[in-house]
Amino acid sequence: MNDESENSAANVAPDPESPIQPPAYHQALLDYLQTEQIDLWNWFSSHKARADSAESVRLELLKAAYRIDRGDAASVYQVADSVAKKMGFAAVTLYQAQHSEGLNASLAWLPDEAHVVLHGPVLEVLSNTEFAALLAHEFAHHELYTINDGVCLVMEHVLSAMISDQSADAVHDRTWRSHRLYTELHCDRRAAEVTGSIEDCVCALVKLETGLKEVSAEAYFAQAEEVLSNPTQQNKGSDGMTHPEVFIRARALQLWRDDPDSDSVDVALKRFVEGPLRLQELGLLRQREMRQLTREFLRCFLSTEWLQTDLMLGHAKRFFKDFAWAETTVAAAAADHVKEQLAECDEHLRNYFCYILLDFVTYDADLEEAPLAAAFVFAESAGLLDEFRMLAAAELKFGKRALQKVESDAVRILQEAASSFG
């Protein structure tokens, strides 16, 4: 998709009264940028983005593609105008790309105008209803940058600046990639809402990918389910860089159709797109999730009163300046969530949490071996015992037998520590 802009948007949050909302990922990323990257956000919100003029964009389209004449393609424009009317667009122009490889469509963004470029023999392969689904998807890209005073357009500019910066690293690339994948899923959903047919949406996707003129949506739904039910696929996210795989897009449409208002849909899409928590593939939002999980993890581990010494508090504040003890009931309520999240983490992240425990077990010498015993018990309850046991043996200056004894006597040691505190 080609995105060209003449105007930046105001610093505003999504309008809850708007009938169309950005996807959940975009709203969370918007919150992140407006709180944790506030200077960058404010700059792009208050300055006009450098962009070609509308006439320049039109000229480039005329140079690179054939403008489809309304008089010569009345039936094609009838479909396009019908979709545009449903989505609130007054002006639509279609083009056929020159020297295109494969089948595709792209949107050249201009304010209040929809310019769609067709790549390859799209009109020969798609039926009228499938073509309508394709156009609705492309118009949805335009719509996304227009709703809520263009806040998603500002976000696009901020992300683009981030990945172009010399200091950018993998986390920025991962964030940009996830943003693009979720954008495509959102536009798929809007196409289904506008056309009222997920079958046409899926048939259009499959035909564009394969070049086939006849496909079955129901057959492909079954194929997508077979892929996503495979254990190897359940442990990974999308491999797509700009668009999720078609089987993911088909399954996402099914989930929305079957339960459009359920939070479980967003949970499933997160698994499809981003996969499990992996240290080397954390985007900005998942980094924030890990910070929050680290805080919860520490608050749960340090919820026992006898562990709450001044030294322990000072050490916890090296992780979080505003760290505060959690009440026992609060920590107990968070424990299940922590365990669930840890189960989604890869080996490197699980080791990271074990090292956090090791950071505390010898920090307050007055507590002697009690923090280590508490760490063994906590690691077991959090599902980290095997990893913690191995790292403790490698990192702590305890003999193997001494460690084994602390672990086997952990309950008794904790009871004595609690008794001494009382």
Residue 19 makes CB contacts below 8 A (sequence gap 6+) with none
Q: Quick one: which of 325, 334, 333, 344 has its CA closest to 292?
A: 334
> In whole angstroms, what is the distance from residue 82 CA to residue 66 CA?
22
Q: Tell me: the pLDDT tens digits for 355-390?
A: 999 999 999 999 999 999 999 999 999 999 999 999
> In whole angstroms, what is the distance from residue 138 CA to residue 133 CA?
9
The whole-number pLDDT of residue 176 equals 97
Tokens found for residue 97:
């790309």
Q: Quick one: which of 345, 344, 339, 354 has its CA closest to 386?
A: 354
Nearest 10 degrees: Cα torsion 170, 171, 172, 174:
80
The confidence band for 1, taking pLDDT boundaries of 50, 70 and 90, is very low
> In whole angstroms, what is the distance from residue 32 CA to residue 35 CA?
5
> In whole angstroms, what is the distance from residue 224 CA to residue 57 CA?
38
Nearest 10 degrees: Cα torsion 58, 63, 64, 69:
70
Rounded mean pLDDT, 265-284: 93
The confidence band for 248, taking pLDDT boundaries of 50, 70 and 90, is very high
3-state helix, strand, coil in the chain (%, to 5): 65, 5, 25
> In whole angstroms, what is the distance from residue 216 CA to residue 359 CA?
57
> In whole angstroms, what is the distance from residue 418 CA to residue 422 CA?
6
Tokens found for residue 8:
């930046």
C-alpha dist (Å) from residue 175 to 29, 30, 169, 235, 266: 9, 12, 10, 20, 17
Give the whole-number percent of the chain exceeding pLDDT 70.
94
Bridge partners for 67 per DSSP:
95
Q: Tell me: the pLDDT tens digits for 188-210?
A: 999 999 999 999 999 999 999 99
Tell me the H-state helices in 10-111.
24-36, 38-46, 54-64, 74-87
Give the chain's end-to-end CA distance (angstroms, integer): 66
- Encoded amino acid at 242, one letter: T
- Which residue reads 């071996």 in tokens? 369
Q: Tell me: the pLDDT tens digits for 76-118?
A: 999 999 999 999 988 899 999 998 889 999 999 888 899 999 9
Residue 43, pLDDT > 60, answer yes
Bridge partners for 402 per DSSP:
none
C-alpha dist (Å) from residue 129 to 78, 82, 192, 201: 12, 11, 11, 9
Q: Tell me: the pLDDT tens digits for 207-225?
A: 999 999 999 999 999 999 9
Tell me which H or E stretch contains 113.
Answer: strand 113-119
Tokens found for residue 18:
């708007």
> In whole angstroms, what is the distance from residue 112 CA to residue 89 CA?
7
**Rg (Cα) of the chain, in Å, rounded?**
27
Residue 134, pLDDT > 80, answer yes
Residue 12, pLDDT > 50, answer no
Tokens found for residue 366:
């007055």
**Secondary structure of 141-175 as H, E, C letters:** HHHHHHHHHHHHHHHHHHHHHHHHCCCCCHHHHHH
Q: Hey, is 37 helix, strand or coil?
A: coil
More confident residue, 299 or 13: 299
- Encoded amino acid at 202, one letter: V
> In whole angstroms, what is the distance from residue 348 CA to residue 279 CA?
6
Q: Where in the chain are the domains?
A: 24-195, 284-421
The whole-number pLDDT of residue 15 equals 56
The whole-number pLDDT of residue 16 equals 52
Side by side, which strands form the sheet with 104-110? 65-67, 92-97, 113-119, 104-110
Counting DSSP H helices and E strands in the chain, the numbers are 20, 4
The whole-number pLDDT of residue 111 equals 86
Q: Quick one: which of 177, 178, 185, 101 has its CA closest to 144?
A: 185
Q: Hey, is 96 helix, strand or coil?
A: strand
Residue 2, pLDDT > 60, answer no
